[in-house]
Amino acid sequence: MNRFLSKWTSVCALVLLGLVAQPRGVASADVFPDHNVRIVVPAAAGGALDLISRILAQKASEILKQQVFVDNRPGANWIIGMDMVARSAPDGYTLLFVASSGITINPYVFANMPLDPLHDLRPVVAATNTPYVLLANTSLPVRSVGEFIAYARDHAGKMNHASNSSSTMLVSELFKTRANLSYTDINYKGASQAMNDTMAGATQFCFVDLGSGSTAIQGGLLKPLGLTSASAYQLAPNIPSIAETGLPGFAVESRTLLFAPAKTPDDIVGKLNQAFQAALDSPDVRDRLRSMGQVALAEPRDATMAALEAEAAQWKRLIRERDIHFDQ
């Protein structure tokens, strides 16, 4: 009798453990989120990254029925905000919104990075993408990428490029390498300063993201020669790609992405992915993003990770070949 009771007690204990333990994971996903969700943007307010994050946060708040708010944490080339999220609790309530360059360039150009982005963070959703555009001073006697390359070769060492970020500097380095050019990079604190000096003639050309360059293009203040997209870009069909008109295979795009800490459970990441993808699919969000030169993305998370790994491999190879290092 005692053996029977003992066995029955053990069985009951196992059943109770199962009833308590198993629903716990399910319940956490079912009730998520039950309070505010924070999106850390590692850049100052007012820039493209910040504006895109706020558009998505507003729509995601409606979908998740909890406030999703933006917390700007600029500094150290985005590294402060990135590391903050990587070290936060993996519960889905602290997320990171960042451009792909923070993930695929920063680890190779800045010494003593406190995190490994591809290992310490996991993608929730790929939000937008936009190419860079090669803009030239209007007095430059060129009308195409091919003519620009020929002109730059004839004026080797005499031309200046206006860089405004680690990503545009590397786009320039890739262009310089592929086209076999020699010119000087001058670094500026932002796209507007880089474009202003290019308009003034202090520099002859610059690479900026299409959204930043759209006003100068529309106003005829700078001459758009080519996009860094692999082929024609739907938001700028009148500007050819560099790959099509001068350098076959040349392709670089800037993506914005939402990340969670690496150990965030799959069910929580899945729920966040559904909510933010629904936000990206809404017509009003797409229209607002298009007005910024950004195209909303829709791709599986495994495809996003594969794209990031391929991008990181390209930049890592170039950075090592050119021995590039930046100061934080």
pLDDT > 80? residue 160? yes
| Beta-carbon count within 10 A of 114 CB | 14
Give me the amino acid identity at 212.
S
- From the number of C-beta atoms within 10 Å of its C-beta (0-12, 13-18, 19+), residue 73 rates as middle
Question: Would you say 151 and 158 are in contact if contact means Cβ atoms under 8 Å apart?
Answer: no
**Residue 35, both tokens:** 């309070």
The boundaries of every CATH 3.40.190.150 domain in the chain are 35-129+254-322
Greater model confidence, 299 or 139: 139
Helix, strand or coil, per DSSP, at residue 110: coil
The CATH number corresponding to 35-129+254-322 among 1.10.287.3510, 3.40.50.1370, 3.40.50.2300, 3.40.190.150 equals 3.40.190.150
Greater model confidence, 3 or 189: 189
pLDDT in tens, 217-230: 999 999 999 999 98
Greater model confidence, 277 or 46: 277
Choose among 52, 53, 51: nearest CA to 40. Answer: 53
* Cα(286)–Cα(234) distance, integer angstroms: 13
pLDDT > 50? residue 248? yes
Range scoring the smallest mean pLDDT among 11-25, 28-42, 303-317: 11-25
Question: Would you say 127 and 57 are in contact if contact means Cβ atoms under 8 Å apart?
Answer: no
Choose among 132, 110, 113: nearest CA to 121. Answer: 113
56: which residues sit within 8 A by CB, 6+ positions away?
Answer: 39, 68, 97, 127, 258, 276, 279, 280, 285
The boundaries of every CATH 3.40.190.10 domain in the chain are 131-245
* Cα(15)–Cα(21) distance, integer angstroms: 10
The hierarchical CATH code for the domain 131-245 is: 3.40.190.10
pLDDT in tens, 90-141: 999 999 999 999 999 999 988 889 999 999 999 999 999 999 999 999 999 9
